[in-house]
Every structure is written in C-alpha cells, then in structure tokens.
C-alpha cells in the first residue's frame, strides 16, 4: 500500500518532504499551501534587504547541489528562486494545492481528516500528516495601546507594504532584531528621519559577505568536490565555534569580544555605543549578523530611542518622556513563535487537543512526533531551531527520520511515539537545556512567557543528525 500523505506548507520543510517522497516513488501526497505561491518565509518576507545570514551553500538542500549562488549571503529573491528551481526540477509543484489553508486535522481512529478553509470543501482523509508550517510564520503585533488610532501607514516587517514609498518620510521602526537590522540600512537611506525604538539591544557580529563571480561559480560547478567541501567547511565552522558559545563553552568570550569589537569599530559615539551594548550573554537572544546595521544607526537622520513606548497616538509614538511624530510605523516585532501549528486545530487519538496537551509549552520527540498523535510528523517542530547553524540541515534530518518510518506506514501501520520514549526525551532535553545560554538573563522568541525554551535544540546539530538517523521503529508503538 502507498500511504496517502498530506504535507502542510510549501516552504523549505514541506518542499523537502515532497521531493523526498517523489524521489522514493511515493506520489500519493498532496501539499497544502495557504498562500498563492511556494516559499514559506521566503515568500512572505520581502522587506528591503531581506536575506539569509547563513551562507547559501549551506542554507540549501544537501541533495540539490546549486552552483549559481551570486553571493555568500544571498537575498530573499535568490533563495526563493532556489526553492522554485527545486520544486520544478523535482516536479513537485503539480502536487501543491495553493490558496488552501488547512484549518483542522482530526484523527478519527484510523485516518487523519483534514478540513480546509475552502468554502464547501469536504474533509479529506489521509494516512499520514506532515506539518511543515515553520516556527516563524505568523507575525507578532505588539499590544500597545492606541495602535488602531494611528493616522499614518503602519505594517509588519513580514507583510511589507511595497506600495508605500518611504522617500522623505518620518518613519518609526519598533524592534531591532535580525529583520529590522536588515531593512533599517535601506529605510535609513530613503527616509527623511528614522527613529528606531529599541527595547533591548542585541549582540551584533559582522557579516562577511562576498560575491561569487563567474570564475568562482565555474569552479564550484566543475571542480569535483569543491562545492561539497566548501559546504562542509561552513557547517563545521559554525558547529565548532558558534555552538560552544551557546553552550557557554570556550568560545563564548570570543563571541562577546568579536561583537564588542564590531560595535567599537562601527559606532564612534560613546553614548550611542552604551545604548547599543547588551547586558546579557551573547546568544541568549539570536545574535544579529550584519555589517550595515550599526553604520545605519550612526547616520544623522537616524535616532535610537530607548525610552519605553507608552502608546501609539494618531500622530506617532509616545514614549514616557516625549511624543515622536511620524507618518509611518514599521513593526519589526517578530513572530508568534511558541504557538506551534496554531491556529490549526489538531485533534488526536481519543479527541486529544494538541493545544491543550501543549498548554505548558510545545514538545515532541525529536521535535517530530507527539504522543496521542499517531502518524503525525512535524518539520521544524518544537526544540529544533538552531541559533548557530542551518535550519535546512535540521529539516533534512527530520525528513530522513520520517522517510525511515515510511516502510511501516506503507504497511498500514499507525505509529505513535511511546510515552516512555517521550518522557526520556523530555528529561534529556531538560538536562541539556540547563547548560545553554538561553535560560536566564533575557527574554526571546525561543521561549514561552513562563520561560520554557520550546524552540531551540540544545545540542550540537551533529548529535541531532545521529539521533534522527537511528532506526525509528523502537521509539514508536502501533495503535
């Protein structure tokens, strides 16, 4: 029997799953995509300067060698182009149902019934569901009083308003994470005045970008093993130097020193420097990797405001100390990262509601499988985010695990992770988490309001690869 597989989301995760099924000759899958195009986060985040701060030769599928990257850190259009290239090359686009949002997945004792937002559509039954919706897919808008009263134009960084010309505008940016750091230099060039409202400073390290000219591209293409060796070098460098910093090991001081040097090199005004210096260990929040962020903050038309925002008024942003009149507000306030799979309603065996099961924080074995939810697998699920390496690597590990389950699923089995396996997993995660830098000292999108780190993987990614490469069957029981 060939299992009928539903894949939800056509971003890096969902496409990887589809391609691997396609290559294994399992064509009985459907990809549900709520947007009208593929690409996930790389379709949604089109703000000026959007790109990836993980080098492209690593931030790509291991099975799809791509030698056309134009630069070390490519922009959003190029990454989206890569995903389109993969979808076409592996012929998975025909299996994607665009503009079809899955609103509910319910296990009826033998199958998963998927309900979509499409008017008049009946629920559809599947043997297996693979969630590929990502962690950063739903913009977070802050709850600041008066936001509805603003008379100018406002939007979230992940829903950029390209119709709104920023030339000559007075702009407020709320937030200063990785997204803001990428677009602020572009906005600063256009706007008459830019005020960046910073609640907490971030650690920032340089981004050593470079272009790949025709000679480099030819070399990657024609010299056997060169591209793979380069990819491997980037991976090992991140793993060997950045991971120990997050685990509060030997390189943490080096990371701090690198960031402080970068700050001193780029920001000469000691008062601004003081405002931009974090008071928590580097890595606690996602480190910003960018070389043009600080220079933009030093421009005469840019100000970094650290006073607390008390409300949005019709004319701008009011802080505890003064009003700031602006005509545009850009919310670079991140994503609803800890609400995994939400707002989809997921109901498992015995009517168990996944949101209720996760009331204390999302968790899943390997970040992939949750007890009471047989044949439901997650990509980039709980505790699989990295602060130091490529998520595409993690996604491929997860897809490997799910593919290793396929022979059993093809026999019609319903696999559910054993409760004792889940309990042991939780204990291991907690023990590993204790040594990581994310726990105390800062708030971040990695954790719930109660302080449980639900998003990050606390080990080296090499360990995750080993764990996901083990034969999966012993961890599961048949239900």
Q: How far is the CB of 144 from ligand NAP (least distance, A)?
A: 6
Q: Residue 263: count other Cβ atoms within 10 Å of its Cβ.
A: 19
Residue placing its CB nearer to ligand NAP in the complex, 20 or 286: 286
Q: Reduced to 3 states, what is the DSSP secondary structure of residue 357?
A: helix
Question: Given strand 323-325, what is the order of strands in its sheet?
Answer: 309-313, 316-319, 323-325
Q: Is 283 an interacting residue with respect to ligand NAP (CB under 6 A)?
A: no
Q: Residue 386: count other Cβ atoms within 10 Å of its Cβ.
A: 22
Closest-CA residue to 368 (of 51, 21, 13, 118): 13
Q: Residue 149: count other Cβ atoms within 10 Å of its Cβ.
A: 11
Q: Which stretch binds ligand NAP (CB under 6 A): 1-9, 52-60, 187-195, 311-319?
A: 52-60
Instruction: Give the chain's radius of gyration (CA, Å).
Output: 23
Residue placing its CB nearer to ligand NAP in the complex, 57 or 414: 57
Q: Is 267 an interacting residue with respect to ligand NAP (CB under 6 A)?
A: no
Q: Is 435 an interacting residue with respect to ligand NAP (CB under 6 A)?
A: no
Q: Is 173 an interacting residue with respect to ligand NAP (CB under 6 A)?
A: no
Q: Is 177 an interacting residue with respect to ligand NAP (CB under 6 A)?
A: yes
One of 333, 456, 461, 468 touching ligand NAP (CB under 6 A): 333
Sign of the CA dihedral with 186 first, then 188, 192, and 198 last: positive
Q: How far is the CB of 324 from ligand NAP (least distance, A)?
A: 13
Q: How far is the CB of 290 from ligand NAP (least distance, A)?
A: 8
Sign of the CA dihedral with 337 first, then 346, 394, and 46 last: negative
Count of residues that bind ligand NAP according to CB under 6 A: 26
Is the distance from CB of 478 to CB of 414 less than 8 angstroms? Answer: yes
One of 23, 27, 65, 199 touching ligand NAP (CB under 6 A): 199
Q: How far is the CB of 427 from ligand NAP (least distance, A)?
A: 27
Is the distance from CB of 215 to CB of 329 less than 8 angstroms? Answer: no
Sign of the CA dihedral with 161 first, then 77, 133, and 244 last: negative
Take residue 162 and report the two structure tokens written for it: 């390209």
One of 3, 40, 175, 278 touching ligand NAP (CB under 6 A): 175
Q: Which stretch binds ligand NAP (CB under 6 A): 92-100, 103-111, 116-124, 175-183?
A: 175-183
Residue placing its CB nearer to ligand NAP in the complex, 378 or 402: 378
Q: Is 443 an interacting residue with respect to ligand NAP (CB under 6 A)?
A: yes
Q: How far is C-alpha 84 from the chain's CA centre?
A: 19
CA distance 20 to 7: 12
Residue placing its CB nearer to ligand NAP in the complex, 334 or 460: 334
Binders in 81-140 for ligand NAP, by CB under 6 A = 136
Binders in 299-318 for ligand NAP, by CB under 6 A = 309
Take residue 1 and report the two structure tokens written for it: 């029997």
The binding site for ligand NAP (CB under 6 A) comprises 51-54, 136, 142, 144, 157, 174-180, 182, 199-200, 286, 309, 332-335, 443, 445
């Amino acid at each position: 029997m060939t299992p009928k597989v539903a894949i939800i989301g056509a971003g890096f995760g969902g496409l990887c799953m589809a391609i691997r099924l396609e290559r294994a000759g399992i064509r009985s899958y459907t990809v549900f995509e709520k947007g009208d195009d593929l690409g996930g986060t790389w379709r949604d985040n089109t703000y000026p300067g959007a790109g990836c701060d993980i080098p492209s030769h690593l931030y790509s599928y291991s099975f799809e060698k791509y030698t056309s990257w134009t630069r070390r850190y490519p922009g959003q259009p190029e990454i989206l182009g890569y995903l389109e290239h993969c979808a076409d090359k592996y012929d998975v686009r025909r299996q994607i149902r665009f503009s079809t949002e899955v609103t509910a997945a319910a296990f009826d004792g033998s199958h998963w019934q998927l309900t979509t937002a499409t008017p008049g559509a009946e629920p559809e039954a599947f043997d297996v569901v693979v969630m590929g919706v990502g962690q950063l897919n739903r913009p977070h808008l802050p709850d600041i009083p008066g936001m509805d009263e603003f008379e100018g134009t406002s939007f979230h960084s992940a829903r950029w308003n390209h119709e709104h010309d920023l030339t000559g505008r007075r702009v407020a940016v709320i937030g200063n994470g990785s997204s803001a750091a990428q677009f602020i230099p572009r906005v600063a060039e256009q706007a008459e005045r830019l005020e960046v409202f910073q609640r907490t400073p971030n650690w920032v390290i340089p981004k050593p970008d470079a272009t790949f000219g025709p000679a480099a591209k030819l070399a990657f293409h024609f010299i056997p093993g060169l591209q793979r060796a380069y990819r491997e070098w980037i991976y090992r460098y991140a793993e060997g130097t950045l991971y120990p910093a997050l685990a509060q090991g030997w390189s943490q001081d080096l990371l701090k020193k690198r960031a402080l040097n970068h700050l001193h090199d780029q920001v000469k005004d000691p008062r601004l420097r003081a405002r931009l210096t974090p008071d928590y260990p580097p890595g606690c929040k996602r480190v910003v990797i960018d070389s043009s962020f600080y220079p933009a903050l030093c421009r005469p038309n840019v100000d970094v405001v650290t006073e607390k925002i008390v409300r949005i008024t019709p004319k701008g942003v009011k802080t505890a100390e003064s009003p700031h009149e602006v005509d545009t507000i850009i919310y670079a306030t991140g994503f609803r990262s800890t609400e995994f799979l939400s707002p989809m309603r997921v109901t498992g065996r015995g009517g168990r509601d996944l949101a209720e099961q996760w009331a204390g924080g999302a968790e899943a074995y390997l970040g992939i499988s949750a007890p009471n939810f047989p044949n439901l697998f997650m990509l980039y699920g709980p505790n699989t985010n990295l602060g130091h390496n490529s998520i595409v690597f993690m996604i491929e590990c997860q897809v490997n695990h799910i593919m290793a389950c396929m022979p059993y699923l093809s026999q019609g089995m319903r696999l559910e992770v054993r409760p004792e396996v889940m309990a042991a997993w939780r204990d291991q995660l907690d023990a590993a988490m204790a040594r990581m830098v994310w726990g105390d000292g800062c708030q971040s999108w990695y954790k719930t309001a109660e302080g449980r780190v639900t998003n990050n993987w606390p080990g080296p990614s090499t360990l995750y690869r080993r764990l996901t490469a083990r034969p999966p069957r012993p961890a599961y029981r048949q239900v």
